[in-house]
Chain A
Amino acid sequence: MTALRAAVAAQVLAVLGQRDAGPPVVQTAEAIARIAGAEVRPLRLAADLTPPRATARVLRALHRPRSLTAVLAGDEVSRPVWQRVAQRSDKPVVLVPAGARNRPQQIRRVLLPLDGTARSAAAVAPTAELLARGGAELVVLHVFDAETVPKFWDQPAHAGPAWTEEFLARYCNLPGARMELRSGAAAEHVAQVAAAEQADMIALAWSQQLGQGRAPVVLRTVLEAEVPVILVPIPAD
């Protein structure tokens, strides 16, 4: 399972640590459970658990068929745990950044950054579909950089709509989805656009690689975002 899937009595794990991350994590888990038609299951980690053991506990709980996702504090202190969980989970993991201003009662709008590859679009599609079915508005973000900039852009008044319509048709063909485009480095834009669009959540597909220079978008977004970030693993080839 690489994505959120609604199921009978599905559960959203609210991972509670020793620090005071409880309320935002629980509120986020409740909002996700509401949109997914699931229930919240608290998972309290003992204070004396080492990060590897805490990770193993979360992954064990996530591995249950009923578990849709796990919501964890995404702050710096909890980093040893959330990084391990996010890298090893085959299910989406939701991080609640330390600076999360928004502890959504309801997820009304989700920012969905897509890099224009079929793999990432396919990975995030079930999650996006579930969120859209639950009533969330999807705002797809694509950032043009040296690798992804189109070869041609004839007349901006016409090319913009044509390009975005085609992009959505290919990578996010869900009712009501709309698109935002930016130029530059994607890492610089995701959190900013999420704030500008007043998104309640960011959904990012990622390859679960955190080596040197990898996943700059994920790392910077988790650092800067003011809303929960759901990381959806892209299955290995």
Chain B
Amino acid sequence: MAPEKSPYGFRYIGKKRRTKEDPRFVMGRGRFVADVALPGMKHVALVASPYPSARILSLRTEAARATPGVHYVLTGEEFCAATDTLAIGVDAPEVTRYALAKDVVRYAGEWVAAVVADTRAIAEDAAELIEVDYEPTPHVIDPEHAVKAGSPLVHPAHGSNVLFHRRFVWGPVEQAFAKAEHRLALRAVWGRSSTVPIETFGVAAQWDPGQQMLDIWASIQMPKYPDQTARALRLPGNAVRVHYDVDVGGSYGGKRGIKHTVLVGYLARRLNMPVRLLEDRLENMRGGDAHGPDRIFDIEAAFDGDGTIRALRIRALDDVGAYAGRSPLQLGKPISAICGPYRIAAVEYEPTSVMTHKTPQEAVRGFGQSPTNFALERTLDHVARHLDMDRIELRRKNLIRKDEFPYSIPSGSTYDSGDYHAVLDKALAAIEYPALVAERDRARRAGRFAGIGIATCLEPSGGNSAFEPLFNPKNDTTTWMDSCLVRVDLSGAITGVMNTSSSGQGHETLVSTVIGEVLERDPADIRVVRADSLSALPSNSPVGSRMAIMLGGAAAGAARRIKEALIEIAAHNLGCTAEAIEYRDGNAAVRGHPQQRLTWDELVAIAHRKFHRMPAGLEPGLQATFVWEVPTGGALPSADGTVQIYPCYAFEAHVVYVEIDPETAKPSLRKYVCGHDCGVMINPDIVHGMTYGGIAHGIGAALYEKFAYSSDGQLESGTFMDYLIPSAMEVPTISIVDHCTPSPLTTFGQKGSGEAGYLGAPAAIANAINDALAPLGAGIETLPITQDALWRAIETAKAGR
């Protein structure tokens, strides 16, 4: 339970506080994109390709266009000529991408036409009347085939299906392998799953011909969204206004509907009518381009008999589907913690991003960190088994010690702070580990399969996205910023203005708490609003667990400037220097002379209304902006691919107990503890909430969720009946134990934490299940671990005996 008093000694930071956001949502007064009603708004339905790969021979739209209530039918022919391709994160200019296919379809579910009608129902009626003649062409679904010569090509103009490939060598890998006493190799497979929020993506757009401006409301979580929209629509940046005050119903990385937005933006302008596209669930699953990492890891570890891990070789093959935006970069972010929380001096990393005829991949919580951590933690367990060494002892031996911080890893990042051993110990103590081992062993003696899984994980946070220039040297970008504006109005009320959208992370609470802390005023009275993209200060949106650091830091920075102004006004009016002013609770007095004071209201009145009492050079009013670059950011990678990615490193240690019914092979998570250290938590309930959610999401990835494809390229799990999101019955009671190693790089010592739980849970669960299967000599290295797969592994092992 969150504490009543701040454990860090702050006034507001760290205390239990109700959030600002919760009241409107429990009343049902959220404002999601589907709630935005624009007068005269029209609705879009899509026509999708049934084939994974085909030429479009003809498209007949007359019957659809003639349907009463239909305003327009748009095909790729018109759309691709009138708009520009969407951006791709790697150097692959031939891999173009549009919302509608032209001439060729590249995945089953790709949109080929859009119908605009008075209602969504009529649009769907008309969509059924569109006749498309396809000529199917060879397709490739298996990424290991797709990388080979002779494979059908998804984008022939690109020359191969490989979007990115590089072999990074950091440290003396070759020598380490040569000298190490032991080595082992394994393959770990992360199944195609994704964030799949309960709200699908939606966007509404309205063109104002009088102002020549496009207004956009969307369920969006995406950096550079207004910019990319404007570019694709061939509009100047200041002709697009994105309204960030739309509540987003969950995103966790995936709400990047840039293609939907360009489509709807084009239609709104073309038709001079407001237009809305709300994905239905079928469109979302198959055509929304929001699948997730689909990755095969081949790992080799070189280690000594005492458990010291000398080197790792990691090959990662990731299937991004038929098109890409930033998705290949999800192979790059893990470089920021490529050796995990462990002291490993030499790492070779060979990522390959490959295309197949599947629905495209989009960002998923952690941006590749969870799959990589899964592979790494499976490796640790294999090493332990190879040496017949306790898995915890192996980790203790290799975990970076608290006296080693700041710690630089071979790929160039420096971990800011941490005490991994303490967090691990706390988690083990919380689950009463020795008793748990006894419980597990008792269960085994009684004939049940029982296992304990342990996994640690780093959460790189702060969003220094240096993997962008790392993966594409032509993209020499190093600015990842955020900002805040704080103003105190004439009445003395405080308002903070943030510059991006939110999807449940509690940013309004974050900003008001931080401003309140700095100005020593009650956050309950501080309002936080959002700018739109035209009035906004620069923001890179909530990605990479960056907002506590970046938005928190910006809010603090702007609040400090206000505080300095107040102190300056006080000093000027009280006849002393700024250093002699004692600022408390918003009031200012001469130190040692409390009767010589000015109250908050008096100071505010001077600032706003009494220019004759203002110090020279200070602007009227009380407002301040703060725009800043991510700490440790600003440098390009070196030639050998070394660069600091992410400033702050949160840490988690999961311990989970699982039992598997020996007859039905159904797994059951019985106990779950997560030790978590994200430095100073600005609002503990918010942090804990996201961690519980991350663990639930991780349970989904580990046991239930998969975008399954048939060999003929059809998505078999395109509804919620087949894509299995865990319910409250699949998620156990979870205990979180907190630890705090503040970051030296941030205002209050906070680190980021939006991905916590999801990063470590799949690894921990995979480790638990494998521990349960170990007495049988069985194992599973592919996620999700389904009951059928578990049963097979058990039967195979039994047969082998």
A pairs with B:
no
